[in-house]
Structure 1
Amino acid sequence: MPRLDEVFKKSGVPTHTFVPPAEYNRVAVALKTPGRGIIIEGPSGIGKTSCVKRTIDDVGLADSCLFLSARKDSDAELIAELPLMRKIGVVVVDDFHRLHSLEKNKLTDFIKVLADEEDQESKVILIGINQAGQTLVEYAPDLLHRVETIRFGRTNVERIQELVLLGERALNCSISIADEIAEEAEGSFAMAQVLCHEACLQGHLLETSSESLPQNITISLPRIRESVLAELYPRFFPLSRDFATGNKLRREGRAPYLNLLRWLSQTQEGVLDTKEAMAANPELKGSVGQVIEKGYLSNLINSTNQISSLFHFDPETRLLTIEDPKLLYFIRHLIWSKFAAQVGYFSIDFKSRYDFALSFAGEDRDLAETIAEALTSREISVFYDKHEQHRILANDVEEYLAPIYRSESRFVISLLSCNYPKKIWTKFESDNFKHRFGENSVVPIWYMDTAPSTFDESRKYGGLSFDPEGDLSTQVEAIAGALAQKMEDERAADARKANG
């Protein structure tokens, strides 16, 4: 009699509960087409690999098929040699999006050759995440008509229900909340298997019931969910925490990695278009854009095998993907305010568009830019005109800048050199923020070679000093450190107010 672990399988290809996805027939036809390569893409946990393996068996190609994975170093070496081979049979390269660009491009050229020659004895099948095939087509646009690209989407509820029913028949049982489990799985065959497995465990059904009537398993969905999340916690909480804090916890910053994780949890398929996400969250665009553009996100993902095995980021498409449906399920059930506090942040809600806005004369740009870079590297959101030029273009500059200095930045940093009072734009900016001195929202930085004059009033408030003759990097490090500490104190105060 089948055992529970053989019916509702928490990993591997299902046997008793295989449900052909909607794309099954397209895969079968493509397999029979001589020489024509196949690219299969879609989110994790929806049965791409299971479908390919089952279809290969069904069309009688199993004996001539070789499965390789880009995750395995030993397989990667063989994958690199494929373009030099002929009469290779059917070769499946799983997770091909993880190959280096050079290997992917060589595979692309190889697939084109096989298609042009209509090779009867060779076929390459590539399996990857969403839009994985797009990078190949961009490298070789003429590939588009030489391969069959099949995109797998989220599985519908009806197919998940069919999976549950097949499992019930195999185990001779009836799960009272079968339909609720189908909804809870959110389009993932893999999560449906996990949830059904847990339901049977709690119903004390470990193998097929020998009773004449199906064994009833009566249990609540919240209880199953709680048990599954408790099982996932030891593995996924530490990894989620490490991802959310990046290479270093910066409590003064805007938690860019945590917000990327939060946005991922809100996607339907575990695939985040970071460009769209930043456009929808302008108050976080600066801090999130910084970690993406400077390569910090890629470095974080590649820093450990644990993180790299679960996340993938494509710098070209800017797509961030979760590659384990169980991790996606786990983060979807996080309480984000609580999680933020657990990993060390005060809050993930930010009242202002920017933390700091820089006001300075053009002659002092070196200092302004160095301060901006030092603060953004601490994941703090800074308005610095050079970073915003593409947004300012074709806009009324005064209308664009006035709100930033008037209210949209938490603090204004004014670089008070001898050049500051002489400029039209610094006069305009200061007219918009001078009332904020009384709100403790302006941080003056006084140049030590400039005697107090127009801005004598600024001396009533706390500020910082800069010596133009001194070492720039050393002084900026001290200035940025003081500003970062100020921001951390402000976030802590906000959190105390919010918590009563």
Structure 2
Amino acid sequence: METITKRKLLEDVFKTGGLPTYTFVKPVEYASLLIALRTPGRGVVVEGPSGIGKTTAVTQILNELGISDSVMSLSARKRDDVAQIKAILSGADLGTVIIDDFHKLDDATTQEIADFMKVIADEERQDAKIVILGINRAGESLVRFAHDLNNRIEVVKFEANPPEKIEELLRLGEDALNITINVKSDVIEASNGGFYIAQVLAHEVCINAEIFEEQADRTEVNTSFELIRGKVFERLARTFRQRAERFARGTRFRREGRAPYLHLLHWLGISDDWSLSIDKAIREHPQHRGSIGQIADKGYLNDLISGDEEIAAVLHYDERARLLTVEDPQFIYFARNIFWAKFASEIGFLGINFPSRYDIALSFAGTDRAVAEGLNQSLQEMEFEVFYDRNEQHRILAEDVEDYLRPIYQSDAQYVVVLLGPDFPKRIWTKFESEQFRERFGTGAVIPIWFKNAPPGMFDESTRVGGLEYDPESDLNDQISHFADTLRKKIGESRE
């Protein structure tokens, strides 16, 4: 009787969920991970972006070692599993335990795990092994809770897979389905080193070409990659668009501001390792130092992510390390393919290209610092970049102060706001600053704030332009609020 061979199905070859059946590829870190997993007692931390192949590699190795059936796998995302994690740490016969999504655990549990891993390493126990799976810097996070743990664990860092590994995955899939994909190089490039995204794109290529199962004869797949890219993006947009918008708008939407959350999302999307150091981003984009620094320093970024379950499902923020990381590989693909100028406009921002490093530079005498301080705080809350001397003190140290200040008042600030109090003409530094911005009066870049207690005629030159008036006898906070709101509108109009 003739035997009928069952044809392989598309969903089993290019899999968009679960472990690969026909397309498993050993990542570069496979050998190091194998040795670490088979070494008794020694804890293992496997860290790296989501969708890069960590869980698949660990599962494959445990199968090779013949111990997968005796391994307990737990996830920090599941409430019952978290309770079980806490319970097993006090147990006598532990065995091998895998803790996935380690970064989701609270500090107390993380501390217990760190202490336990140190003990079993020192005792060289044959009956206990902890394997942690986490995002970037999971090992560093663990060591923070036990500084002497560093030499007692193996940290295996998974990074973006090289193009030849993605090509191997696609070739295995082609052979399984008996097809040849014409846009293979495009899929490799768009995958950005992620096995999962490569599976998703290849799966869509086959659907578009109506390849649903293994072909009887070798079949050439001819399709447009731009069509595939668009279809995948549209499908992901239905899942991720709204939460991307909520994140980009932040905790308090400021349409005229510097859009700090939107820029973080953009920089994260184009990052090589799917994570973004806030401090590094500030160094690389100094024109956003104030707005980005504020949402990180004041806890707004952490509050936004922790307070929105849907955002927290795709983004993780380590407030200690000031590290923003993508949790879902599909989300990073979505973010990479956003048309940012259009996206910013659609969600309400007036613009994301800024003509100057600072929106506003404040010039004032020290006796009027209370007004300057209040105005600085209000403008920063509106997510504007403000030059205010106390924000820059550590950067001015050991610098030639005149060389540092000169370009700021000449051109680096879109507007110079001058607090014209009674002492303004009497101070050395205000005299120097005014010499730098004096020529900008005719360009609409200098906005005076006249103090009512300044002698008449003192600032006649400034009356040629529109300005604001400050009354020391009236409520300070009300006037600062009015000044800040007026400046907000002014900047908003210039952005439009």
TM-score bracket, normalised by the shorter chain, equals over 0.9
2:3 counterpart residue number:
none
SS in 2 for 1:35: coil
2:38 to 24, 32, 40: 32
The aligned counterpart of 2:246 is: 242
Shift of 1:448: 2.5
Of the candidates 264, 272, 276, which is equivalent to residue 276 of structure 2? Answer: 272
1:192 equivalent in structure 2: 198
Which residue number in structure 1 is paired with residue 449 of structure 2? Answer: 445
Q: Find the aligned partners of 1:449 and 1:89 in 2 and give their Cα distance.
A: 78
Where 1:119 maps in the other structure, the secondary structure is coil
Matched with 1:7 is 13
Give the match for residue 57 of structure 1: 63
Instruction: Indicate if the aligned counterparts of 2:268 and 2:274 stay in contact, CA closer than 8 A.
Output: yes
CA distance in 2, matches of 1:434, 1:156: 56
1:318 Cα deviation from its structure 2 partner: 2.2
Q: What are the superposed Cα offsets for residues 172-207 of structure 1, whole Å, 9 maximum, x if unpaired?
A: 333233343223312110011101111111121222
Q: Which amino acid aligns with 1:467?
A: D
Deviations 1:132-180 (A, max 9, x none): 2112223323211111110111111222122122222333333233343
Which string of whole-angstrom CA distances, capped at 9 and with x for unpartnered residues, describes residues 405-443 of structure 1?
122111111112222222111111112212222222112
Aligned to 1:353: 357
Indicate yes or no: 2:143 matched with 1:165: no
1:495 is aligned to: none
Per mean C-alpha deviation after superposition, the further-off stretch among 12-21 and 107-116 is 12-21
8 A Cα contact 1:358 1:368, kept in partner: yes
Q: Which residue, out of 382, 388, 392, partners 1:388? A: 392
Instruction: Report whether the alignment pairs 1:283 with 2:287.
Output: yes
Distance in 2 of aligned mates of 1:237 and 1:78: 35
Letter in 2 for 1:39: V
State the number of aligned residues. Answer: 490
Counterpart in 1 of 2:83? 77
- Residue 144 of structure 2 corresponds to 138
Asked if 1:201 is matched to 2:207, the reply is: yes
Matches of 1:230 and 1:261 in 2, distance apart?
A: 18
Cα distance in 2 for partners of 1:395, 1:491 equals: 33
Q: What is residue 496 of structure 1 aligned with on the other side?
A: none
The aligned amino acid for 1:288 is I
Q: What's 2:155 paired with? A: 149
Q: Which residue of the partner structure matches residue 112 of structure 1?
A: 118
Q: What is the percent sequence identity of the aligned residues?
A: 45
Deviations 1:461-482 (A, max 9, x none): 2222222233222222221111
Aligned to 2:402: 398
Of residues 275, 295, 304, the one that matches 2:308 is: 304
Q: CA RMSD in A?
A: 1.6
Between 348-357 and 134-143, the greater mean CA deviation after superposition: 134-143
Change (3 A) 1:378 1:117: same
Cα 1:458–1:179 change in 2 (3 A) is closer
Task: In structure 1, give the amino acid aligned to 2:458.
Answer: T
Judge which range, 155-164 or 383-392, deviates more.
155-164
Amino acid at match of 1:162: E
Instruction: Identify unmatched segments of 5+ residues in structure 1.
Output: 493-500
**Match of 1:429?**
433
Aligned to 1:498: none
Task: Select which of 461, 464, 467 maps to 1:463.
Answer: 467
2:339 to 332, 335, 338: 335
Deviates more, 1:290-299 or 1:460-469: 460-469
Residue by residue over 1:334-375, the C-alpha shift from the partner in whole angstroms, topping out at 9 and shown as x without a partner, is: 222222212222221111111111111112212111110110
Q: Secondary structure at the match of 1:84?
A: coil
Q: Kindly indicate whether the alpha-carbon contact (under 8 Å) linking 2:266 and 2:340 is maintained by their aligned counterparts in 1.
A: yes
**d(CA) in 2 for partners of 1:73, 1:471:** 52
Residues 1:317 and 2:327 are matched in the alignment: no
Q: Is the 8 A contact 1:61 1:90 kept in 2?
A: no
Shift of 1:82: 3.7
Which of 214, 229, 232 lines up with 1:228 in the alignment?
Answer: 232
Whole-Å separation in 2 of the counterparts to 1:180 and 1:461: 57
Q: 2:297 aligns with which of 283, 293, 298?
A: 293
Of 473, 487, 493, which aligns to 1:489? 493
**Partner SS state of residue 144, structure 2:** helix
Q: Is the 8 A contact 2:48 2:136 kept in 1?
A: yes
Distance in 1 between the 2:407 and 2:187 partners?
50
Q: Is the 2:50–2:135 Cα contact (8 Å) retained in structure 1?
A: yes
Q: Report deviation, 1:276.
A: 2.0
Question: Matched residue of 1:76: which SS?
Answer: helix
- Aligned equivalents of 2:88, 2:481: Cα separation in 1: 52
Asked if the contact 2:110–2:145 (Cα under 8 Å) also holds between the matched residues in 1, the reply is no
> Contact conserved, 1:252 with 1:491, CA < 8 A, in 2?
yes
How much does 1:29 deviate? 1.7
CA distance in 2, matches of 1:113, 1:38: 14
Cα distance per residue 1:290-326 (max 9 Å; x no partner)? 1111111111111211111111122232221112222
Q: What is the letter of the counterpart of residue 242 of structure 1?
A: R
Displacement of 1:380: 0.3
Please say if residues 313 and 320 of structure 1, whose CA atoms lie closer than 8 Å, have aligned partners that are also in contact: yes
Letter in 2 for 1:158: E
Between the aligned partners of 2:253 and 2:68, the Cα distance in structure 1 is 50
Cα deviations by residue, 1:207-228 (Å, 9 ceiling, x for unpaired): 233x2x2333222222211211
Mean Cα deviation higher: 172-181 or 154-163: 172-181
Contact 1:82 1:107 in 2 (8 A): no
Cα distance between partner residues in 2 of 1:441 and 1:172: 67
Q: Which runs of 4+ in 1 moved over 3 A?
A: none
Distance 1:170 1:398 in 2: 69
Larger displacement relative to structure 2 (160-169 or 291-300): 160-169
User: Structure 1 residue aligned with 2:482, among 467, 478, 486?
Assistant: 478
How many angstroms apart in 1 are the aligned matches of 2:467 and 2:190?
A: 55
What is the DSSP-based 3-state SS (H/G/I as helix, E as strand, rest coil) of the residue aligned with 2:96? Answer: strand
2:400 aligned partner, one-letter code: D
**TM-score in terms of structure 1 length:** 0.94
